[in-house]
Amino acid sequence: MKIIAASAAIVVAGFSAQAATVAIGGTGSTGAGGFTSDLATTDTNNGAYYQGATTPASNWVWANDPLVEYGQVIFTFAFDLTGFNAASATLSGLWGVDNLGEVFLNGTRVSWLDFGYSAFDSLTAFDGTGATFNAGLNELTFFAINAGGPGAFRASVTVSADPIPAAVPLPAALPLLAGAVAAVGFVARRRKAA
């Protein structure tokens, strides 16, 4: 019985998947990249903004063409889960905004920051809880709103998922082996009948 249990454990362990990093992203010219915006952006900074490092790297950016002192700037991080098990996907990140904003994964809100210093003097963690990952293209959308004065946005994102294992081809000798076993069984049955 112990041998059977040990064999089963080895078989199951052989099929366990390991999560792989699908995509990383970070805002700013020295960030990890991967973010797009509906407006042209540039690096920005202010002594009141959180200055700590993130992994992956990121820094503060804001729209500069035109400069948005009142209004919304949309930032998007797109990633593709083709070849990965979407049910195993995880997303984690940090973000901040001067003044307020929301984060959506494929249309489902996963985080928001209310107006105030806490929206930019620290970064807020977020994940994909409550949202559904698509088997192909996914979009993480940030709506950053500036309510006057300087505006800024910063985000850092990591997406992981289990790879879909490649199909294992049927060995060419397997049908021959099955035929041989059937033939031996047939011959043994004929001998027994005779």
99: number of Cβ within 10 Å: 21
Q: Do strands 40-43 and 61-65 pair parallel, antiparallel, or not at all (unpaired)?
A: antiparallel
Q: What pLDDT is recorded for position 164? A: 87
Cα–Cα separations (whole angstroms), residue 104 to 35, 77, 186: 14, 10, 64
Beta carbons of 151 and 62 less than 8 angstroms apart: yes
Per-10-residue mean pLDDT, the chain, length 194:
44 56 89 87 87 91 82 94 94 93 95 82 90 94 90 94 79 66 67 67
Q: Give the tokens for residue 72.
A: 């919304």
Q: What pLDDT is recorded for position 136? A: 93
Domain range list for the chain: 16-193
Show Cβ contacts of residue 55 under 8 Å, excluding neighbours closer than 6 positions: 156, 158
Region 16-193: CATH code: 2.60.120
Rounded Cα distance, 20 and 94, in Å:
20
| 90-105 residue pLDDT tens | 999 999 999 889 999 9
